[in-house]
Structures are given as C-alpha cells and as structure tokens.
C-alpha cells in the first residue's frame, strides 16, 4: 500500500548554506499557522492573512521576546501549495546564522526538522504530483546542463506520467475484457478473440519500446560522460584540456612530467555534461610522485567512458606511444594527433598505430581541430538533440521498472499470439500494470519512497 501523508508540521532551510542575499526557511503542515502566529510580529497574524500574499515583519524568539530576523513572510493556505498543506515561507537575510536562528525558533515552537526531500514527498503523498514528477524535481535540482534541466522540466510537467497512465488504462481495459470473456464463455462473445486484444496491446508495446529506447539515449544527459586525456608526457594533454575548457585550468610546461595528479573540468557540450580528466603522462619513471600519477592515469584509462589518446605528431611515434596503444584493448576512443601547427607535423607516421580508429588533428596552442574533436565525442555518445527533446530522463529505479513492464507485456502478447489462452495472458498483463503503477508511485511501500526521497536535499 502507498503510505499516508503524515500530519505533523515540518520545517527546514530551503536555500544553500553560506553567505547570500536571502535565506528561505519553509514550514509545512497543519500547525504552520498556529506556530507562525506565535513567532511572527507584523501588521497582522499570519493565520488571518489571505493566501498567496507576502507580509513584512520580524521573527520573534517567544522565550526571550527578542527579534531574530527581519523577514518577508509568504502565506500559502492549503490546498493550492507546494505540499498541498498549509505552508509558510520566511525570507530572511542570507548568511550562516539568521536562517538557522529562524529554524531553531520554529522547531522550539513545535515544528519538526524536515527530512531530505520531505516537502516534495508530501506533494506526492497528498496527490499533487506522481512519483515520476517528484523524481523530476530532484533531476532538475541536480541538472548540470540546460538540456538536462529542460528534460527534467518536461517530466515534471507530467508528459511522461500521462503516457504511462494511457498504457495502464489500455491494459486494464484488455484485462477487463478477458475477464468478461471468461465469465461468459458459454454464451460466447464474438469480438473478444485474441486478435482483438492484440490489436489493442501492440500499440502499447510499440510505445513502451520507443520510451525505453529514448530513455537509453537520454541517460547520457543525466549521468554525463567522463572523458580522459591520455598519452605520454609532453604531447599536449593539459594544453588540450585548457582548449576544451576555454580557460587556463591546468599548468602547461615544455618540461616532461608537468602534470602529476588528475585534473577534472566540467564542460557543457551541446547539452551533454562532460567531465574532462587531464592525467599524468604515461611512461616508465623512477620518480615516486610521478609513478603515483601514472598509476592514476592507468586507472582513468579503465574508468573513463571515452579515452582521448593524444600523440605529439610533430615527432615520430616511440615506444611510450606504442606501449600505450597496446593497452587500448577496447571500446571507442579518439586518437588526437596534436601539434599540427609545427613544420615537422607528420600524422601519416601514426597511421598504422591508429588504423581503424577515429583520428582528429589538432593544435592545442592555436585552437585548431576543436570542432572536429567535439563532433567525434558526440558521435560516440550518439547525441541527437531532436531525439533528446522527447525522452524521459530515467534513473535506475525507473529503468528497471520500464524493462520489467516491457518483459511482462511481451510475455502476455506472446501467450496470446500462440493461442495459449487469454486467462494466462491476463496474469502477465496484470504484472505489467503493476510495474507501471510502481513507476508512477501507485501502491508502493515506504522503503521505496524513503530511497527515492533520501537523495534530495533538506528543504526541498
Ligand atoms: N606547437 C605546439 N605546442 C604545443 C601544442 N600543444 C602543447 N604544446 C606545447 O607542448 C608542451 C607540453 O604541453 P602540455 O600541455 O604541458 O603537455 P602534457 O601532455 O600535459 O605534458 P605532461 O603533463 O608533462 O604529461 C608545452 O610547451 C606546450 O606549449 C601544440 O598543439 N602545438
Ligand atoms: Mg600535463
């Protein structure tokens, strides 16, 4: 069973910690107004104010009868509120202390400190949004690029939830027909044959399939891509990182072995959140610190989604280059033939080593080849902005449920196609409905809810 909404009153700071213009403390639940009446001093009592209005005043510590902060108080009366409960927001001065003092007064006056995501959890438990939408709030907060935020917002608007609901309605209709057919087998109902059911199920199967495919494509928006710059010392890895980041992020120097530790930089490439990792040049060395750096570079070679293998193509390949390419057992990588601005540039001498791979010619010092490099990266992540526009941003929970729903539906359709009996198919179809229900948050237990909302920040 789905949990009931709790009936206590919660409070939390809704803005990030630190110095800032404002700090917002929110409070939600049945006692919000009685607590606010006790701690707020302004032109009138909050409980007497019209809903969706803002009032100037002070938060008072009722014990000491002294002002805690000057605030604007926003009044939201149930049910047209974020949580569907009575809700109050105090906008006080930003900073480490004022918000904490307001919160302290609210807690001492009867509110409880909210758990992470509890405001959004209440919006869900009170039926304002479904679980897909609640999770989209979390995605929106965590979004690292515009494209990811837009996708989360679409999900928050309920577009995906509507689609899932349509699937459920269609399946429930078919299950109901099957049950009716079973009840009236004697009389025989001519329209209720497997092909009638199949005609209704196939479009759901196709639409679910499309949703799963598009969710694979949008996964990269949510999780981002980790791309490592690898190569022997001095080939220009740090210079390339600076070119990709459009700033002087890493130290560049003519001496070999400049970069000792891995350096990360987040970049938005046409909506895809990419983390570029600059690494220490891979070579045999007796220097202890450099050896640790090389070990980290090797780890990056395994961990990164895409390795960018950099060569200094103004010199001929040597053993260090050959050793490195020997370790590339695998996967998509991009070979970068750097330093194309130099007279001695000879990319052909690398042809054998890079045979069959994607190659890009660059000059990190002159900024040449950046577009080609970005294109190669987007090709590997199969980025297509048009498809991203309609996709669902799935997390692991949602991905699992979509796949389980699809598997049940496929089984049910298989049973009908083989003429094994509609009552058998109904069992699978019911499973599918159940999985889709859990996806949008119907009939789920506390453990799942706690897991979903524990990943939120406090105050959301
Ligand atoms: N002419 C030219 N010089 C470059 C280019 N890229 C890098 N360099 C120079 O090559 C030298 C080494 O560059 P880095 O970016 O520090 O090379 P790295 O691969 O990070 O080196 P390590 O950190 O020592 O492994 C510096 O003097 C750079 O200015 C390029 O495309 N053309
Ligand atoms: Mg470097």
- Taking the C-alpha atoms of residue 349 and residue 343, their distance in angstroms, rounded to an integer, is 14
For residue 411, the surrounding DSSP H or E stretch is helix 396-417
- Taking the C-alpha atoms of residue 36 and residue 54, their distance in angstroms, rounded to an integer, is 13
231 and 374 co-located in one domain: yes
Does 389 score more than 90 pLDDT?
no
pLDDT at 187: 55
How many residues in total does the chain contain? 460
392 - beta bridge partners? none
Evaluate whether residue 261 is within a structural domain: yes
Residue with the smallest CA separation from ligand 1 atom 9 is 236
For residue 241, the surrounding DSSP H or E stretch is helix 237-245
Contact between residue 30 and residue 7 where contact means Cβ atoms under 8 Å apart: yes
Distance 235 CA to ligand 2 centre (A): 8
207 and 327 co-located in one domain: no
Distance 283 CA to ligand 2 centre (A): 13
pLDDT at 421: 82
Phi-psi region of 84 (alpha: psi -120 to 50; beta: other; left: phi over 0): left
- Output the average pLDDT for the chain: 90
Number of the ligand 1 atom closest to the C-alpha atom of 254: 27
Does 315 score more than 80 pLDDT?
yes
Task: Work out how many domains the chain is built from and give that number.
Answer: 3
Residue with the smallest CA separation from ligand 1 atom 7 is 236
- Taking the C-alpha atoms of residue 296 and residue 291, their distance in angstroms, rounded to an integer, is 9
- Mean pLDDT for 209-219 is 81
Distance 238 CA to ligand 2 centre (A): 4
Does 392 score more than 80 pLDDT?
no
Contact between residue 90 and residue 39 where contact means Cβ atoms under 8 Å apart: no
- Taking the C-alpha atoms of residue 83 and residue 320, their distance in angstroms, rounded to an integer, is 60
Distances (CA, A) of 260 to 132, 229, 292, 436: 44, 13, 8, 50
- Taking the C-alpha atoms of residue 75 and residue 436, their distance in angstroms, rounded to an integer, is 37
Number of the ligand 1 atom closest to the C-alpha atom of 260: 23
Parallel, antiparallel or unpaired: strands 66-76 and 87-93: antiparallel
Q: Which of 207-211, 239-243, 370-374 has the lowest mean pLDDT?
A: 207-211
Radius of gyration of the chain (CA): 29
Residue with the smallest CA separation from ligand 1 atom 8 is 236
Contact between residue 408 and residue 437 where contact means Cβ atoms under 8 Å apart: no
Evaluate whether residue 1 is within a structural domain: no
Helices (H), ranges, 109-193: 118-125, 131-142, 146-156, 159-183
Helices (H), ranges, 184-236: 194-223
More confident residue, 126 or 396: 126
Evaluate whether residue 460 is within a structural domain: no
Does 1 score more than 50 pLDDT?
no
Q: Which residues contact 366 (CB under 8 A, 6 or more apart)?
A: 341
Residue 53: helix, strand or coil by DSSP? strand
- Taking the C-alpha atoms of residue 12 and residue 124, their distance in angstroms, rounded to an integer, is 18
Ligand 1 pocket check: which of 239, 361, 367 to mutate, most ligand atoms within 8 Å of Cβ? Answer: 239
pLDDT at 337: 98
93 and 30 co-located in one domain: yes
Distance 287 CA to ligand 1 centre (A): 20
Ligand 1 pocket check: which of 231, 233, 236, 283 to mutate, most ligand atoms within 8 Å of Cβ? Answer: 236
Evaluate whether residue 205 is within a structural domain: yes
Closest ligand to 297 CA?
1
Q: Which of 294-308, 342-356, 376-390, 417-431 has the lowest mean pLDDT?
A: 376-390
- Taking the C-alpha atoms of residue 168 and residue 152, their distance in angstroms, rounded to an integer, is 22
For residue 409, the surrounding DSSP H or E stretch is helix 396-417
Evaluate whether residue 361 is within a structural domain: yes
- Which among 167, 115, 159, 114 has a CA at the least distance from the CA of 133? 159
Q: Residue 284 corresponds to which tokens in the numbers above?
A: 């045999």
Q: How confident is the model at residue 193 (pLDDT cuts 50, 70, 90)?
A: confident
Q: How confident is the model at residue 77 (pLDDT cuts 50, 70, 90)?
A: very high
358 - beta bridge partners? 334
Distance of CA 137 to the CA centre of its chain: 10
pLDDT digits (tens, 9 = 90+) for 400-455: 999 999 999 999 999 999 988 888 999 999 999 999 999 999 877 777 778 788 87
Range of the domain at 238: 223-383
Which of 128, 158, 178 terminates a domain? The answer is 128
258 and 159 co-located in one domain: no
- Taking the C-alpha atoms of residue 409 and residue 159, their distance in angstroms, rounded to an integer, is 22
- Taking the C-alpha atoms of residue 397 and residue 455, their distance in angstroms, rounded to an integer, is 13
Closest ligand to 257 CA?
1
Distance 13 CA to ligand 1 centre (A): 47
- Taking the C-alpha atoms of residue 455 and residue 176, their distance in angstroms, rounded to an integer, is 38
357 and 398 co-located in one domain: no
Degrees, nearest 5: CA angle 3-5-9: 145
Evaluate whether residue 133 is within a structural domain: no
Distances (CA, A) of 203 to 78, 138, 188, 210: 40, 31, 26, 11
pLDDT digits (tens, 9 = 90+) for 219-240: 788 888 999 999 999 999 999 9
Number of the ligand 1 atom closest to the C-alpha atom of 278: 20
Contact between residue 252 and residue 260 where contact means Cβ atoms under 8 Å apart: no
Evaluate whether residue 134 is within a structural domain: no
Does 6 score more than 80 pLDDT?
no
Which of 366, 383, 400 terminates a domain? The answer is 383
Residue with the smallest CA separation from ligand 1 atom 32 is 339
Place of tokens 């009908």: 416
pLDDT at 155: 86
Residue with the smallest CA separation from ligand 1 atom 13 is 236
215 and 255 co-located in one domain: no
374 and 396 co-located in one domain: no
Closest ligand to 338 CA?
1
Ligand 1 pocket check: which of 230, 234, 292, 341 to mutate, most ligand atoms within 8 Å of Cβ? Answer: 234
pLDDT at 330: 59
Which of 335, 362, 383 terminates a domain? The answer is 383
214 and 228 co-located in one domain: no
Residues with beta carbon inside 6 Å of ligand 1?
231, 233-239, 252-254, 256-259, 280-281, 338-339, 341-342, 363-365
User: Cα dihedral sign for 319, 323, 324, 329?
Assistant: positive
Does 274 score more than 90 pLDDT?
yes
230 and 198 co-located in one domain: no
CATH number of the domain encompassing residue 183: 1.20.120.430
More confident residue, 333 or 183: 333
pLDDT at 284: 85
Residue with the smallest CA separation from ligand 1 atom 11 is 254
Evaluate whether residue 52 is within a structural domain: yes
47 and 95 co-located in one domain: yes
110 and 152 co-located in one domain: no
Of all residues in the chain, the percent with pLDDT exceeding 90 is 63
Q: What is the CB-side half-sphere exposure of residue 39 using CA atoms within 13 A?
A: 29
pLDDT at 192: 60
Helices (H), ranges, 263-369: 288-303, 319-326
- Mean pLDDT for 83-103 is 94
Number of the ligand 1 atom closest to the C-alpha atom of 342: 1
Euclidean distance between the first and the last CA atom of the chain, given in angstroms as a whole number? 24
CATH number of the domain encompassing residue 306: 3.40.50.300
Parallel, antiparallel or unpaired: strands 272-278 and 225-230: parallel
Neighbours of 351 (CB within 10 A): 11
Distances (CA, A) of 181 to 187, 188, 282, 413, 426: 9, 7, 70, 17, 12
92 and 113 co-located in one domain: yes
CATH number of the domain encompassing residue 113: 3.30.1360.120
């Amino acid at each position: 069973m789905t949990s009931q909404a709790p009936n206590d009153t919660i409070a939390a700071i809704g803005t990030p910690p630190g110095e800032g213009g404002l700090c917002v403390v929110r409070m939600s639940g049945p006692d919000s107004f009685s607590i606010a009446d006790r701690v707020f001093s302004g032109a009138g009592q909050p409980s007497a104010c019209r809903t969706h209005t803002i009032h100037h005043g002070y938060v008072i510590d009722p014990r000491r009868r002294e002002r805690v902060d000057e605030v604007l108080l926003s009044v939201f009366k149930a049910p047209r509120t974020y949580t569907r409960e009575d809700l109050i927001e105090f906008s006080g001065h930003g900073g480490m202390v004022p918000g904490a003092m307001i919160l302290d007064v609210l807690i001492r006056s009867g509110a409880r400190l909210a758990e992470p995501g509890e405001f959004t959890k209440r919006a869900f438990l009170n039926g304002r949004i479904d679980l897909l939408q609640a999770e989209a709030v979390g995605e929106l907060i965590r979004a690292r690029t515009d494209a990811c935020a837009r996708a989360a917002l679409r999900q928050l608007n309920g577009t995906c939830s509507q689609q899932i609901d349509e699937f459920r309605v269609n399946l429930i209709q078919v299950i109901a027909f099957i049950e009716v057919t079973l009840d009236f087998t004697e009389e025989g109902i001519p329209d209720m044959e497997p092909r009638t059911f199949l005609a209704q199920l196939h479009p759901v199967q196709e639409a679910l399939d499309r949703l799963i495919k598009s969710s694979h494509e949008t996964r990269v928006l949510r999780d981002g891509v980790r791309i490592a710059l690898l190569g022997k010392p001095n080939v220009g890895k740090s210079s390339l990182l600076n070119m990709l980041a459009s700033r002087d992020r890493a130290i560049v120097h003519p001496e070999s072995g400049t970069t000792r530790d891995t350096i990360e930089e987040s970049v938005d490439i046409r909506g895809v959140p990419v983390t570029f990792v600059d690494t220490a040049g891979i070579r045999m060395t007796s220097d202890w610190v450099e050896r640790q750096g090389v070990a980290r570079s090797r780890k990056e070679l395994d961990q990164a989604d895409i390795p960018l293998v950099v060569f200094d193509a103004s010199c001929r390949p040597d053993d260090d280059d050959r050793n490195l390419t020997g370790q590339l057992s695998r996967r998509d990588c991009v070979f970068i033939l750097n330093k194309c601005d130099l007279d001695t540039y000879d990319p052909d001498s690398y042809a054998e080593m890079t045979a069959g791979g994607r190659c890009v010619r660059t000059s990190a010092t002159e900024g040449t080849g950046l577009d080609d490099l970005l294109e190669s990266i987007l090709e590997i992540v199969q980025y297509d902005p048009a498809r991203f526009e309609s996709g669902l941003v799935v997390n692991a929970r949602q991905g699992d449920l979509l796949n389980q729903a699809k598997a049940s539906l496929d089984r049910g359709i298989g049973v009908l196609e083989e003429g094994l009996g509609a009552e058998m198919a109904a069992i699978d179809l019911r499973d599918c409905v159940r999985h889709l229900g859990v996806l949008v948050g119907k009939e789920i237990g506390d453990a799942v809810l706690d897991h979903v909302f524990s990943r939120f920040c406090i105050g959301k």
